[in-house]
Amino acid sequence: MHHRNAPLTVVGRQRAVAQVVDSGRPIAHVAAEFHIARTTLSKWVGRYRDQGEGGLQDHSSAPAN
């Protein structure tokens, strides 16, 4: 189950990130196609590069303590 405010499910995030990482497409173009903010996709790409597939899993939106 994904977070109710999440713009895409984990699978959707994987597809968007793959377009950038594997296909080399610009973040702005992919973000527009997926109807998400460039900053959101940039965050996901960064998490994927740092943590792999686990970085695309749902995360708490609560502030870190």
In this prediction, residue 59 has a pLDDT band, given cuts at 50, 70 and 90, of confident
Residue-level pLDDT at 53: 92
In this predicted structure, the answer to whether residue 2 has a pLDDT above a threshold of 60 is: no
Judge if pTM exceeds 0.85: no
**Is residue 14 one of the residues assigned to a domain?**
no
Say what the pLDDT of residue 49 is.
Answer: 96
Whether 6 contacts 58, CB under 8 Å: yes
Residue 23 or 5, more confident: 23
Rounded Cα distance, 62 and 30, in Å = 27
Provide the sign of the torsion angle of the four alpha carbons 48, 54, 55, 57, taken in this order: positive
Give the total number of structural domains in the chain.
1
Considering the domain boundaries, does residue 19 fall inside one?
no
Residue 1 lies in a domain: no
Residue 35 within a domain: yes
For residue 18, what pLDDT band results from cuts at 50, 70 and 90?
very high
Q: Provide the mean pLDDT of the chain.
A: 88
